Amino acid sequence: MKKIFLFTAALVGLVLLTACDGDNGTYLTSKDKRWAAGEDGPILMGYIDENGKMVISANYSSAWSFSCGWAAVFEGGEKQFIDKDGKSVIPDPFPQDDFFYFNRIRFKEDGMYGMYDENFKVVIPADYKSLGECSEDGLIWFSEDGKEYGYLDKDGKVVIPEQFDLTYNFADGIAVVKDKNAHYGVIDKKGNFLVDFQKKELQNLGEGLVSFKNASTGKWGMMDKNGNEILNAKYDLISVFTCGLSEVKKNDKIGFINTKGEEVIPCRYALANNFFDDVTDARKSMDSRVEIINKKGETLFTLKEGEYLWVPFINGLGLVANAEYTQFRYVNKKGETVYKWEWPKSSMPEKRLSPEQQRMQFMLSTEYGPLFRDMMRNKEM
């Protein structure tokens, strides 16, 4: 699995923060709106509400996404989890991940993986050499010896025995699996094959859809979960569906398709990202200013020269940063500034996350994270 290198500086924590509702597991649909934010001066992080009021004091050198009522933070050089009131707990062993997926989070003990629930109670003992994140379907890929893979439920019961050379995450009732001959197939939650093993590389896009790669052209197409082709292999990229749209790339230009394979936003952007909160950022050329667009491809507003959308919109707010990463502001979908702060350039670390790294960190912390991680795993194979 490709690793995202995280710098132990406050910039790592510039991710939208909320808690999960019940069994939602990640924060995208939460009604408890909290965002990571700094204050003018030293590089420290706290949390603001939707009105720009600091509701948890800026005492942390790093802060991560809230999920299931907890957020990982660094305070005084020590990593811990805090609740929405800022009260801390230090689980032992400490979780491997920085956020929960659907009320489960991994920990590692003596080289083996297990899982906590949202109260940091062990629900899956550390008996596994490999263990994935919990999916929205409540299934987790696992391997006891690292040679063959199957699936557990979120309480550790084996649902699909170890039998595959590699397994990928479930979403919308299906998962992609791989055999020792590098053939890919699609299974349901009982382990029944919907698409038998074949040579074509497959990736789960969510929404019950799967992309496939034409080995001779290297282009990607799309099919339904039963293998019926919806879109022929003509794109250089087909990404995970978010907000009902998938980012696609053709002739070095980016656009978006819907679940029917229709190109609802033409491939006209030099840069663009997946939709969150029904908006995204895009640039018509590498030198043009960043535009915030809606799902119709209409420009809602344009950022200032040299600004980036550092963290995507969630619950109505997005985080904008300047090119030097010294000025930050949360904006609403009208482009109005809700909260802003500055950090001195002299205090900035030499190494910090690029906009692309920050975006990937954000995507991995959402409910779509396991599917994005699958795409990264395939690139590393």
DSSP string of 318-351, one letter each residue = EEEE-TTS-EEEEE-TTS-EEEEEE--GGGS-SS
Of 90, 86, 35, 87, residue with least CA distance to 56: 86
**Global pTM value:** 0.89
**Torsion, Cα of 12, 16, 19, 23 (10° steps):** -100
Domains within the chain, CATH numbers bracketed? 10-380 (2.130.10)
CA dist 98 and 11 (Å) reads 15
Cα separation, 345 vs 57, in Å, equals 22
SS3 381: coil
Length of the chain counted residue by residue: 381
Neighbours of 110 (CB within 10 A): 6
How far is it, in rounded angstroms, from Cα 274 to Cα 150?
30
The encoded tokens of residue 297 equal 């491809």
Name the amino acid, one letter, at 352.
Answer: R
Of 168, 167, 150, the C-alpha closest to 159 is 150
DSSP character for 25?
Answer: -
Which residues 6+ apart lie within 8 Å of 334 measured at CB?
Answer: 300, 301
Residue 122, both tokens: 């062990």
318, 13 Cβ separation under 8 angstroms: no
Tokens of 311: 């963290």
pLDDT in tens, the chain (381 residues): 222 323 334 444 444 444 344 434 554 545 557 888 999 998 899 999 989 999 999 999 988 878 888 999 999 889 999 998 999 999 999 999 998 998 999 999 999 999 999 999 999 999 999 999 999 899 999 999 999 999 999 999 999 999 999 999 999 999 999 999 999 999 999 999 999 999 999 999 999 999 999 999 999 999 999 999 999 999 999 999 999 999 999 999 999 999 999 999 999 999 999 999 999 999 999 999 999 999 999 999 999 999 999 999 988 999 999 988 899 999 999 999 999 999 988 766 666 677 778 888 888 878 888 899 898 877 655
Among residues 211, 212, 182, 219, the alpha carbon closest in space to that of 197 is found at 182
Q: Are 172 and 187 in contact (CB under 8 A)?
A: no
β-strands 78-82, 71-75 pairing: antiparallel
Q: How many CB atoms lie within 10 A of CB 234?
A: 13
